[in-house]
Amino acid sequence: MLKFGRVGLIASLDVPAVLDSLKNLERVFLAAGSQIVFDEGAANLIGRSDITSVAIEEFSGQVDLGVVVGGDGSMLSATRKLAAADIPLLGINSGRLGFLTDISPEDIAHRVMPVLHGEFQSTKRFMLEVVIIRDSIQMDSGIALNEVVLHPGMPLSMLEFELYVDGTFAYSQRSDGLIVATPTGSTAYALSAGGPLLFPELDAFSVVPLNPHTLSSRPIALPGDAQIEIYVGERNKFEPRLTCDGQNNFNALPGDKIRVSKHSKEIVFIHPKDNSFFSVCRSKLGWGSRLGTADENE
């Protein structure tokens, strides 16, 4: 019996590997008896007139599972567009690291079919919501699955700001910026900045300074329901930038208040049954395998 009878195919990278994966997935879904809905990017890559395509924002109510073909960037984009749709997502990795897209193109045939029939595991990932407030007026807002980054927006400029947690002053800082990362994003930009690895389903997030102008500043982990406020220093002579998942950018001004908190919606990721966070870390981060054991998946 099919668990996912209606499948949405999502792709945005115009490279041969993505096209090959789309064709392989189409064959698997048709063999399983699933109905396929292509997002507009995937439909353009396939290039046929006999397929059904809609904008990804219209998937709600039309598909039971979204399958993203591309890299982690493609998955990040899809999660923000489908944040309110309650559609679980499965990733096919045609990018580089692939922390979020964990099925290789060559494994599509034997790893996707079991998922369609209910043989999978799922994880819930929370997102962050960020709001920029200026003179008590909300100017911009965004959501992020990986991280929210405050940065100068120009090279060789130190940014001054104050950090508050649940209304309590934490510290003031001069640095290249600040990363607020979810557990999902702890393996991304925050990791390269010295932040901690967080287990994907942990109800917490990390706050990681970017090159702080002090030796005593360290990353901190906060509970998932914490409310963060960042006050942009009045003495900054430039307009800082706020970036969500490295894709959406917003301008801030000296004196602005930036609020970061957990978004009301969660994203559900679907994984093959043999998927493991630690096996992914071994593969992607070069962790050592078991001593004297040939099978690295044990």
- Spatial separation of the C-alpha atoms in residues 47 and 49, rounded to whole Å: 7
Whether 64 is catalytic is: no
- Spatial separation of the C-alpha atoms in residues 294 and 292, rounded to whole Å: 7
Structure tokens at 16: 């041969």
Structure tokens at 223: 């509970």
Alpha-carbon dihedral sign for residues 278, 279, 285, 291: positive
Q: Which of these is catalytic: 39, 72, 245, 256?
A: 72
Angle at 56 between CA 27 and CA 266, to 5 degrees: 105
Residues serving a catalytic function are 72
